[in-house]
Structure 1
Amino acid sequence: MQRVASVSVPFKGPASGRLFGFTGLGLMATGAGILSLVLSTGTSLATVVDDRLPLAPLSSVAAPAPSGGTIANQAAAVQLGKALFWDVQVGGDGKQACASCHFVAGEDTRLTNTVNPGNDGIFNSEGITGPGQTILAVRNITNDDRLGSAGEVAANFISVDPDSSHAADICNVTGDPVFGQNRQVTGRKAPEVINAVFNRDNFWDGRANHNFNGFNPFGNTGNNGDGNLVNMTNSSLASQADGPPNNPVEMSCAHRAFNGANSLGAKMLARQPLQFQQVSSKDGVLGPLASAGGNGLNTSYGDLTRAAFGTSDSDSALENSFSSYWGQAVQAYESTLISDKTPMDKYLSGNQSALTQNQANGLNIFQGKGQCAVCHAGAEMTDASVNFYNNDGPLNRDGGDQGFHNNGVRPTREDGGRANTGPNGVAWSVSGSSFDRGAFKTPSLRNVGLRRSFFHNGGKATLTDVVNFYNRGGDFANAEKSKDMKQLSLSSSDISALVDFMKNGLTDCRVAKEQAPFDHPALPLNGGADRPATGGNSLCS
């Protein structure tokens, strides 16, 4: 039976977390009346009456700066990180990249083989009756099924293929009791990687620690059994990046190592980056390295790593610390993915025509009677940000970990969320509060209109469904549900304006049109239409 609430790592339940698959979109964890409005014109902004962070242009907030790393050339590190993130050679089958779950606005929009049956192991939602099937229309999920992301077919790792022109590892396919010979599906929904640099901790349960140890996602907590290659602060993106690549559900055959001989490091360092994928000469980061008229980059991963980290070490020496190089480089790339040019940003900067009247009304509702901005606070639109933590402290108003909330979208027993424990039996929860049971990280709502579905289980189909959920105060009266979850008494016109604001006022054109820095190499997709290479920056004003 599929184990969705267990926490041993790796696990295919609350899927090995990611920006990749320990995912879920706990959308709009709203709160009680902390904000008041001045609504004389219908477009004025809310006035914050406590010390919580008000909405603001994202350009007004600096991305948290990591410290303690070993990058010598930031531009080269961004190139290395972008190549690694989009390269299907990383996958055990040579077909799975980090980007395979984050290819539209930083998340997954595929509809084929994306249902995880939950704890009961029964496929019974979205019109799906078994693995490998295609959803015809996204609908609300009313049972313990989850809308996740397709990863790898279950297999055991034997060795890296010594032929560097081969993308796949040598593995023994075993199949899975639930998914059979189909690709396994993660137990949470993949959230977007865009703007994730502002999060203090990453993954939906926050297991990607803000301190990066160079080996795994767990920082200096009790779940780190590997020691330290580095000790970096403000680096949860690096911690996150080290989770999925060798996870046997998401990206790897089981038991592949990150470092040393016959490892992911040994495999990638010898290979041409993106050799099976086209790269546009106009790509904002990789364009200068694109092979003329062909696939890939005109360099090797070994040379890219040496350039980024200022070393002359051989590939066989670099492979011993590849997990550290990987995490730092992917973090360097993902830190460039900041969508700070939405209509709301322009409106908050003084351009009153950037939002329509209806969207401006929706903004007021967002900050006022909708109470969305209580948790989707600050320029980052989340109380899980570094900035919010520094401003408001380590505990939320329920006494649980800051930025994590149980909103009653599903019964707590289905997924412990923040209260789950890691490989050494240590909980992700720092406070130890019962309110961390079933609690998930508050996501930013920027580009929310481009997402496939909502909440950590992918359980709501549309933004209107999400707002209706909050309007009724949630679906389940969990004992751990946040005290901020209350009925809102929004009218139909309120809901329409709020949805209009979120769907259109929070979308960065560059994200929607895949314009730099959101351009990318071509990406072949399992269970979805292949994505062509993009590049250039002339589509958005």
Structure 2
Amino acid sequence: MLVAVVAAGCAAEAEPVGRDESAMSLTDTAVMGSLQDRIKPLKTVRVPAPKGSAIVDQAAAVRLGKALFWDVQAGGDGQTACASCHYAAGADTRTKNTLAPGPDGRFASLGVTAPDQELTPGNIDNDDRVGSQGVTSMRFVGLSEDLASGADRCEPAPSPVFGEARQVTPRNSSTVIGSVFMRELFWDGRARGVFNGVDLTGEDGIARVEASALASQATGPANDPIEMSCAGRGFNGPGGLGAKLLARRALQHQHVDPTDGVLGGSALRCGDHACTYRELVAAAFGDLDAEAKFSLVWGEAIQAYEATLVPDDTPLDRYLSGDFAALTDRQKYGFWVFLAPGNCVTCHFGAELSDASWAFAEQNGLVNQDGGDVGYHNVGVRPVSGPSPEDLGRASFSRTAAPADRGAFKTPSLRNVGLTAPYFHNGGKATLADVVTFYGNWSEHADDVSISVRQISSLVASLPNYKDALVDFLQNGLTDCRVAQERAPFDHPSLDVPNGPRLAAVGAEGHGVCP
């Protein structure tokens, strides 16, 4: 049935150069005929290189960035790191205290009626969102003089919504893995591709580092009073995050596996003592005034680390490189559905599986066919028509000011998507099967849906077993085993995630072998 359906749905076309036709089945022929070179192995894409960087030693910057990303000392409470919201395949899979109420201020989804409760994974049909929990609401008083303490001096300032519980962000956390290929970051793209050395806006600052959305993004959460910090702390100067960390030993409250691909061995030893952040910064940035420019250090160093998190060894990558046994027959059928009748490739294009990538914009320009900013689409997850839309998305940061940007959000890459539930900007779909079902019935908010999404063919629903095949392809065909097994470069120090798992340190070999 699979071969018959696939072969009937595609016209024969010339095979890509370099493939062994003798190893190809009829299913492979159909898939390759539909491919039309729209998706390639990720190894064929150059990792964007920042221009104008202050880094003098790239390896030292990667070491510094990995330490900063995983270190709980960055949090105002001494318990919250960047990784606290990006610990699971670069994303957040916690279920306790992760529901945020929408504009109506009511907790009314997934069995949750108040802050700090466990949710039952499921689909959301109101204005609630599954976000990531950050810190309790506090006001910054000053830095602690105790260098053994990771917590700042703060005073309580209970949240009107969350009280004394940890606050929750109003959007679902995106994965950081593979994000180096994206032009802009956050669901609305407010973290710009030019890093100004200060914040995420890309406007006037102390530097101009191009191709650096990761650096811009990194400056957003660190001093945010919901995500990581007591309200009022900054990056730079005597009372800032820089002054705090520069004097402290890197990862002093966490364990590092001796075989960690970046931090293992003697990487965090400076002579006869454990390295302070001041020493790690000097190795990466030279004579830079780190306390006065710590926002620059923070952004560029974390970017250097995150740029190494490239998930380019999925079954799909091996299949596209000529290993036709890398995908099962059902996954090949799912891939064909993705390419042809489903037309998912319209938005999830290229090796990056996203039209929000640097490469897509370079090849296709900065404007969608609907007039909106390239890489952003309203797929009808929640209604945005009417006088009081729940979330304007890209419209708040649009470059074109087009009506199509109202309620539009960045197209995420689908690499490792099977590891990063829940889905969409509001975390409103619990499983990939729910997502596929949603796209088959998106007419609920059809008035809000962008032109690109309307290209999804109605033919899909009539195909036999298409949903199971497409989910299998997404779940397994796009998963890099190294990410799932936390093998280098996806290994990490230990981390106690608030209201989440206690992660042991993992070395370069991860938890198991990969193909």
Distance 2:406 2:10 in 1: 30
Partner of 1:236: 213
The count of residues paired between Structure 1 and Structure 2 equals 483
Larger Cα Rg: Structure 1 or Structure 2?
Answer: 2
- Unpaired segments ≥5 residues, structure 1: 1-34, 221-226, 421-427
**What is aligned with 1:459?**
428
Q: Which amino acid aligns with 2:408?
A: A
Check conservation: 1:347, 1:354, Cα contact below 8 A: yes
Pair 1:482–1:173, CA change in 2 (3 A): farther
- C-alpha separation between the residues in 2 aligned to 1:458 and 1:533? 28
| Residue of structure 1 in register with 2:235 after alignment | 258
Gaps of 5+ in 2: 1-8, 14-24
Question: Aligned partners of 1:399, 1:49: CA distance in 2, in Å?
Answer: 26
Q: 2:274 aligns with which of 292, 298, 310?
A: 298
Q: Name the CA distance, whole Å, in 1 between partners of 2:192 and 2:126.
A: 31
SS at match of 2:290: helix
Deviation at 1:38, TM superposition (A): 4.4
The alpha-carbon distance between structure 1 residues 260 and 281, as it changes in their structure 2 partners (threshold 3 A), is same
Could you list the structure 1 runs, at least 4 aligned residues long, displaced by more than 3 angstroms after superposition.
35-40, 46-50, 289-292, 478-483
Give the CA RMSD over aligned residues.
1.8
Q: Can you list the C-alpha shifts for 1:158-187, whole angstroms capped at 9, x where unaligned?
A: 001011110100001111011000000000
Relative distance call for 1:508 and 1:214 in structure 2 (3 A) is same
1:228 is paired with a residue whose SS is: coil
The structure-2 alpha-carbon separation of the partners of 1:481 and 1:195, relative to structure 1 and needing over 3 Å to count, comes to: same
Q: Is the 8 A contact 1:238 1:328 kept in 2?
A: yes
Q: Which AA in structure 2 matches 1:186?
A: T
Distance 1:324 1:78 in 2: 14
Q: For 2:28, which of 43, 59, 67 is the aligned residue? A: 43
Identity of aligned residues (%): 50
Counterparts in 2 of 1:298 and 1:111: CA distance versus 1, 3 Å: same
Q: Report the TM-score, using the length of structure 1 for normalisation.
A: 0.87
- Aligned residue number for residue 5 of structure 2: none
Corresponding letter in the other structure for 1:210: G
Give runs of aligned pairs for residues 90-489 of structure 1, distance below 5 A.
Answer: 90-135=74-119, 137-220=120-203, 227-289=204-266, 298-311=274-287, 317-412=289-384, 413-420=389-396, 428-479=397-448, 481-485=450-454, 486=456, 488=458, 489=460
Please state how far the C-alpha of 1:333 moved relative to its aligned partner. Answer: 0.2
Offset, 1:119: 0.6
Q: Specify which of 529, 532, 535 is matched with residue 501 of structure 2.
A: 529
Structure 2 length-normalised TM: 0.91
Q: Which amino acid aligns with 1:539?
A: V
**Contact 2:423–2:435 (8 Å) recurs in 1:** yes
SS at match of 2:451: coil
Q: CA deviation at 1:411?
A: 1.1
Quick one: structure 1 residues 282 and 432, their matched pair in 2 at CA, closer, same or farther if it must change by over 3 Å? same
Deviation at 1:477, TM superposition (A): 2.5
Q: In 1, distance between residues paired with 2:205 and 2:415?
A: 34
Corresponding residue for 2:480? 508
Contact 1:409 1:475 in 2 (8 A): no
Distance 1:479 1:107, change over 3 A: closer
Name the amino acid aligned to 2:173. Answer: A
Worse-matched range after superposition: 531-540 or 336-345 = 531-540
Q: What displacement does 1:304 show?
A: 0.3
Superposed CA deviations along residues 402-421 of structure 1, whole A, max 9, x for unmatched, are 0000010101211000111x
Q: Report SS of the residue matched to 1:475.
A: helix
Alignment of 1:15-54 (within 5 A): 38=12, 41-44=26-29, 45-47=31-33, 54=38
Higher relative contact order (CA 8 A, sep 6+): 1
The alpha-carbon deviation at position 36 of structure 1 amounts to: 6.4
Distance in 1, Cα, partners of 2:340 & 2:452: 17
* 1:476 CA drift (Å): 1.2
1:57 is matched with 41
Preserved CA contact (<8 Å) 1:437 1:480:
no
1:69 to 48, 53, 73: 53
Is residue 109–residue 451 contact of structure 1 (8 Å, CA) maintained in 2? Answer: yes
Name whichever structure is richer in helix by fraction: 2
CA distance change for structure 1 residues 118 and 37 in 2, over 3 Å: closer, same or farther? farther
* Contact preservation (8 Å) 1:417, 1:439: yes
Tell me how far apart the structure 2 counterparts of residues 438 and 338 of structure 1 sit (CA, whole Å). Answer: 29
In 2, Cα distance between equivalents of 1:380 and 1:177? 40
- 1:376-405 CA-to-partner distances (Å, cap 9, x unmatched) read 000000000000000000001111000000
What is the DSSP-based 3-state SS (H/G/I as helix, E as strand, rest coil) of the residue aligned with 1:288? coil
- Contact map agreement 2:105 2:161 (CA 8 A) in 1: yes
Cα deviation, 1:359-383, whole Å, max 9, x if unaligned, reads 0111111111111111100000000
Match of 2:22 in 1: none
Question: 1:475 deviation in Å?
Answer: 3.4
Q: Tell me, what secondary structure is at the counterpart of 2:442? A: coil
- Using the TM superposition, give the Cα deviation of residue 231 of structure 1 relative to its aligned residue in structure 2, in angstroms: 0.5
Q: Give the drift of 1:478.
A: 3.6
What is the alpha-carbon distance in structure 2 between the residues aligned to residue 439 and residue 451 of structure 1?
21
Tell me, in whole angstroms, the C-alpha distance in 2 between the residues paired with 1:37 and 1:528: 50
Code of the aligned partner of 2:113: T
Residues 1:405 and 1:253: Cα distance change in structure 2 (over 3 Å): same
Aligned to 1:526, the other structure's residue is in SS state coil
Q: Render the CA deviation track for 1:98-125: whole Å, top value 9, x for unaligned.
A: 0000001000010010000111110010
